[in-house]
Structure 1
């Protein structure tokens, strides 16, 4: 189903039962090897992170937004690499910074 917003001249695609459309940024990802399980910026500052995230575009590892530095988001702002995943064995959590949601 396609909804047309006449005022904004934008077409929004809506999935079944109100589901959001698939994030197209996932289709652009290739397999990357991630770095060491540490946030280098936090280590340099003597900070402790809450969670580590890995950039799925380049493999850069950095702390999450709920950490004091929020360095993963900073990496996105510098590089425009849109999708990160939690660096935790067995986790399937992924976040798209462009869409501002889990994917």
Structure 2
């Protein structure tokens, strides 16, 4: 079984924009689902959204783990190890 040290070391920062994706809100784009960066609290949209801002944030910052920011969902994803936790 593959393990991920990044999932074990995540923080729990407050969301920077609790009302939605930071970039989509500033440009007027729409999102499908939201993800919260567990390094800094950035809220970005998922890869099913036109902007794919959560993945773009990872590529810009190397912050490895996001969590679902959807009500009722409790999972995390590590971009580096491609593993859900």
- TM-score in terms of structure 1 length: 0.73
Shift of residue 30 of structure 1? 2.1
Shift of residue 39 of structure 1? 1.1
- Between structure 1 and structure 2, the one with the greater Rg is 1
Aligned-residue RMSD, C-alpha:
1.3
Unmatched runs of 5 consecutive residues or more in structure 1: 1-19
TM superposition outliers: structure 1 runs of 4+ over 4 Å: none
Question: 2:42 maps to which residue?
Answer: 60
Bigger RCO of structures 1 and 2 (CA < 8 A, at least 6 apart) = 2
- TM-score in terms of structure 2 length: 0.87
Of Structure 1 and Structure 2, which has the larger fraction of its residues in strand?
1
Aligned residue runs from structure 1 range 22-101, under 5 A: 22-35=3-16, 36-101=18-83
How many residue pairs end up in the alignment? Answer: 84
Cα distance between partner residues in 2 of 1:46 and 1:70: 14
Unmatched runs of 5 consecutive residues or more in structure 2: none
Query: 8 Å contact 1:53–1:62 — kept in the other structure?
Result: yes
Distance 1:30 1:40, change over 3 A: closer
SS of the equivalent of 1:74 reads helix
